[in-house]
Each structure stands twice: as C-alpha cells, then as structure tokens.
Chain A
Amino acid sequence: MSDLEKLLIKKSQSGDVESFELLISSYDKRAYNIAYRIMGNEEDAKDMAQEALLRVFKSLKDFKGQAAFSTWLYRIVTNVCLDELRRRKNEKYVSMDSSIHTEDGELHMELCSDKETPESVYERIEQRELIRNAIREMNEDYRTVIVLRDIQGFSYDEISGMLDCSLGTVKSRINRARTMLRDKLKESMELSRENIV
C-alpha cells in the first residue's frame, strides 16, 4: 500500500469525503465493472457499486490494513452484490431479461437497445455476446469467481481474500465454474447455429 493511500485512508477514517473520493478514484470503475458482471445490468451495477462504496466509507474505521485496501474494497462489492442477488431470489424477482413461461410457450423478456440494428443482430451471435449471456445465466457463486478471475484477472490469493474462503475452495470453484461456462456456451452455440440455419 502506498504512503499516499495510507494517508488518504487515515483522512477518510476521520470522515473526510474528499480524501475518500480520491482514495477510491482508482478503484470505483473496477468496482462498478465487477458489479456489472455479477448483477448483469448497468442499473443494478450502479446501485450496488454505490451502495458498496458507501459501505466502504462507513466501515473504513474497521479497516486495519490486514489486507490490501483494494481487496477489501472489492470484497465488499462482491458481498453487496451477492447479498442482493440472494435477497431477490427469495422475493422471486423477475429479471428484465429472464424468460417467463406462459401458456403459449416461452416468452423472452429483453430490454431494447438503441443500437439494435439488423446488422447487430448477427453481432449478437458472436462469441462475446454468448459469453456474456452464459455468464449471466450462471449460479451467482460460480459467476462471481469467473468475474473475478477471468474478467478482472485477480489472483487466487486475492479472490480467496475477497470471498473469505480458502484457496482450495477458490481453486475448485474456479475449475468448476469454467467447466460450467464451457458447457453452457456449447449449448447456446448449438442453439444459435440452429437458429441461423
């Protein structure tokens, strides 16, 4: 941790908002991106990232520097997101782009994008979009490790610190998550191929 960061943490602990903003200015984008990948949409990502950063500010006085500040911050971000997802599950939350089963069959809800053009329909089929959807459909615990490891590129150690679980758990969970992701992709790729043909 740099001296500047230590100083900023100290100042933020005493309630200095400006110092805190400077402190998180190098992390908030990544925090937002983590939230975005876990939550799956920008709206939720913004809410969760802000909620998490606010929580960081509130509980900064409990931060003793046992881990890197960034790890601690991202841990709060993932926790806030996962808590929200679990809460929603209990409330039978209907996602904007989830499928709803009706008598006529499957109704797919999706938000319209302004950029949606006939050409971009084909682009959507490209791997990137497929991966995005596949990640979105994963169980949140596996999704989180994929987000942290393969999208954000954190090390095993960092992830174990963020998720508060052992290195072994992290390793097996990553392995499992990757296999799951691949299986899901295989599935959707076959589906899209059928659609095109």
Chain B
Amino acid sequence: MKCETIKNMMSSYIDKDLNNIEKAEFEKHLAECEECRAEYESLTDIIAACGNLEEIELPQNFRTELHQRLNEEKSKRNFFSGIMGSKRMKMAAGLVAAALVIAIGIGGSSLLFDNSMKMAQESAPDMGYGAAPAPAAPPVYYDSDLAVNKAKSREFEMAAAEERGMGEDSVGMQFNESLMAKEMAPSQGLEGQAAESARSGRMVIRSGNISVNVENVDKAAAEIRQMTESSGGYVENSQIDNVTVPQFPVYDAGSEARETTQKYANMTVRVPENRFEDIFNNIKGMGKLVSENISGSDITAEYRDTTARVDNLKIQEQSLQQLMAKAKTVDEILKIESELNRVRTDIDIYTGNLKRWDNLVQLSTIYVYMRELKPEELKSVDVPGTWEKAYQGFIKAVNNVVEGFQKTLIVLVAAIPYLFVAGVIAAIGFLAARKIKLKKKQ
C-alpha cells in the first residue's frame, strides 16, 4: 500500500473509523514504514495536545449580560405580540362582563322570589322531630334562596357549588377561610386525583354546621358515627356532655328548685365529598333543626399555583443535582448543598400543603351540635316569636291598607258609567224643572 493512501487513512484510523481489513492493512504498513509511523505518532501527539488544551471559564459577567440581552429581546417580542395579547384580554374581559350581566340578571329576577321564600320559611317549622328522613323544602324555595344568596354575595364559589348541585335542601352558604388553615387528620387513603377529576378540576373545601334538638343524644350520636364510618369517613371528634341545670318553676315561686339534666353533643365528622349531602341531610333529619350552614371554599387557584411551584422547584432540584455532579471544590459543593436543602425543604412544605388540601377536599367536614329535648318540649318550640308576630301583623296591616285603596279605586272606576247616566238624567231633570218654572212665571 502506498504511503499516500495511508496518510489519507490516518485520521480515520485515529478516530477508529476504519473497518477491520483497512485497519489491519494500516497497522501492517505502519510497522513497516518508518516515515508513516513518525507521522502517525506526531499526529496522535498533536491530537492529544489539542484535547489537553485547557477549557476556559465563562467571563464573570457573561450570564448577567446575556440575561439582559435576552430580556431586551423578550420585551421587543412582547411589544409585537402585545397587540394580540390585548385583543385576547379584551375578549376575556367581554366574556367576564357578559357572565356578570347574566349572573346579575338571574340574581335580580330571583330577588322577586325573596318574599315567597320567607313565607316558605314561616311555614316550614312544622317539621317532625323523631322522623328519620329530612322533609326537604320544595325546590322552588331552595332555588330562590340560593339565587338570592348569589345575588348578595356574588361569590364565584357559589356558582361552582351550584354547578355541583348543592342538594335539594334550602341552605344558606357562606365562606369560611379559616377552615383551610385548620389542621386536619391524615388522609384516609382516598385518591386525590380521582376526587379531583370527579369535580371537573374544581377544588372546593366544603364544610357544614348543623345544630339540632333531638330526643336522644346518645342514639343520634351512635347513628351519626355508624353513618359516617359506613360511608368511608371517620369521626374526628365526639363529645357528649351531661349538664345538670337547676330549674325554677315560674308559677310556683315558693317551691324548691328542681334539678334537670340536659345532654349536649358536639361532633366533628369527616365524610367523603360525594356523600356530604346525604349525610348532612340525614343528620338534619334526626331531630328538630335549630340552624344549619354549609360553606365551600374554592382553593383551585391556590392549588394550581402550589402545584406549579412544586414543579418548578423540582426542576430546580434536578438542575442543582446536575450542577452538583460538576462541582469541583468543597466550597462549591457546600453552596450547592445548602441551596439543594432549601429547595427540598420548600418542596416538602408545598407538597405537604397539597396533601392537606387533597384531604380537605376529599373529605368534607360536618360539625354537629345536638341538644337533647323532651318530646313535648320539641313541639312547643314551634311558636313564632314576638318579632315574627309583629312582622306578620305589620305586613298584614300594610296589605289591608293597600287592598282598601285598591278596592276603593275599583269601585270608583266601576261606577263611572252609572255616574255618567245619572248625571245625564239629572241634567235633563234640571233643565225640565227650569222650563216648568219659567212657564209658571209667564
């Protein structure tokens, strides 16, 4: 083989780019030809020296300068895309405005039902006390109630809660931020993702307060416990107090004070979100309702923010780990280590928050307050209060006055034809009488 060919093959040989036959031939020639061998050796020396050329460090201000230029470039780009962006913004604003108008429209029209709703509440108290299922108020009242609340509070969460069907009961809703901060028991192993997708991505923490008077607190408490546990939830807190109260008979002031015992129960139960309505209504149906309240707190935005934050931190963690692999000095390693520590702590905190939220959303909380009353006491509570009576009386009086005016007006208007005829007759009579008078004088 000629030296010329060998020289052309040298690079390929060095870079191991030759097939076995070529390689064998090349090596054979190199063993024989001193000149080519020398050339080969000088080449490998040079290549090794090239590889040994030191790597130079980035200039100190390299990244900061680049950062500035990148930001300039970005703002330039934003200037052009800004027009597009603002258009989009305008569209979004328009949509929001339209939604608001519709919401106000619905809220306003339902305000008309406000009165009928109040009537409904007046007529509602004849609820049975021992009966198991809750007598649900007619849906129309529920609708107006909810809508009125919506019109009043204009809370976005409302709409969300309504979408998911708050149930057929008439409930007032309010938002309880403090609930979120409350420490909750660990998750019962329900899958957060499943619960979340079931709610089409909305994360709402729901809780309810019920205060009921029941015939038997122990029985009711046991029932609630059983109901909660069978639904997959748990009782977070349960307390039953037996309080002794001295009772002074009103009519017989001289007689001795008698003692009566009164039982109270305070319970906090956690139930799966999808069973919340059922259980809430069941508890409500256990006795005579004193008050109830359901609140929902939408944490979707916070949840998403936190998720994004965790994702970002994880990326940061990864790049720090990559950096760590490249670290050379102890000082570098320590610096990266402390940064890594910080990032990991943050990740832990945020994921902890997410888990807590998952738990809060999956399991709604119901606070139950029960008071034991004798059956006859339960019945007697139904009498409307003084103010209620005064209010009704006032309404009635106003109605009467309005009705009176209306009736007078109707009578007056209705009498117009008669008056007209009577007037004509009277005029004719008057004229005739005058003519007769004149004739008599003549």
Which A residues form the contact surface with B (CB < 8 A)?
4, 7-8, 15, 17, 20-22, 25-26, 28-29, 32-33, 36-37, 42, 46, 49-50, 53-54, 57-58, 127-128, 131-132, 135, 146, 149-151, 153, 156, 171, 174-175, 178-179, 181-182, 185-186
Contact = CB atoms under 8 A, between A and B. Distances in A.
A186 to B, nearest CB: 8
Nearest to B7: A179
Contacts of A186: 42
A151 B74 contact: no
B58 interface: yes
16 contacts: A4-B315, A17-B74, A21-B63, A21-B67, A26-B322, A33-B55, A42-B56, A46-B62, A49-B62, A58-B73, A127-B45, A171-B11, A171-B12, A178-B10, A179-B43, A182-B39
Contacts of A25: 319
A50 B66 contact: yes
Contacts of B69: 50, 54
Contacts of A150: 46-47, 50-51
A4 B39 CA distance: 46
* Chain B facing A: main interface SS: helix
B165 interface: no
Interface string B123-167: 000000000000000000000000000000000000000000000
Given A15-B78, A22-B315, A131 B10 contact: no
Nearest to A8: B315
A57 B77 CA distance: 11
By Cβ-Cβ distance, the 4 closest A-B pairs, closest first, are A150-B50, A175-B11, A17-B70, A150-B47
Contact of A21 (B17, B46, B52, B70): B70
B26 to A, nearest CB: 13
Given A21-B70, A25-B319, A131-B53, 18 more contacts: A7-B315, A26-B322, A28-B66, A29-B57, A32-B59, A36-B56, A46-B59, A46-B62, A50-B66, A127-B49, A132-B53, A135-B50, A146-B50, A150-B50, A156-B15, A171-B11, A171-B12, A182-B43
Interface of B: 7-8, 10-12, 15, 17, 39, 42-43, 45-47, 49-53, 55-59, 62-63, 65-67, 69-71, 73-74, 77-78, 315, 318-319, 322
Contacts of B52: 128
Nearest to A153: B51
Contacts of A36: 56
A17 B67 contact: yes
A32 B52 CA distance: 17
A42 B7 contact: no
A171 to B, nearest CB: 6
Given A36-B56, A131-B46, A182-B43, A20 B11 contact: no
Contacts of B65: 50
Contact of B8 (A42, A58, A175): A175
Nearest to B9: A175
Nearest to B47: A150
Contacts of B39: 182
A29 B54 CA distance: 13
Contacts of A29: 55, 57-58
A150 B15 CA distance: 10
Contacts of A42: 56, 59
Contact of B42 (A20, A21, A149, A182): A182
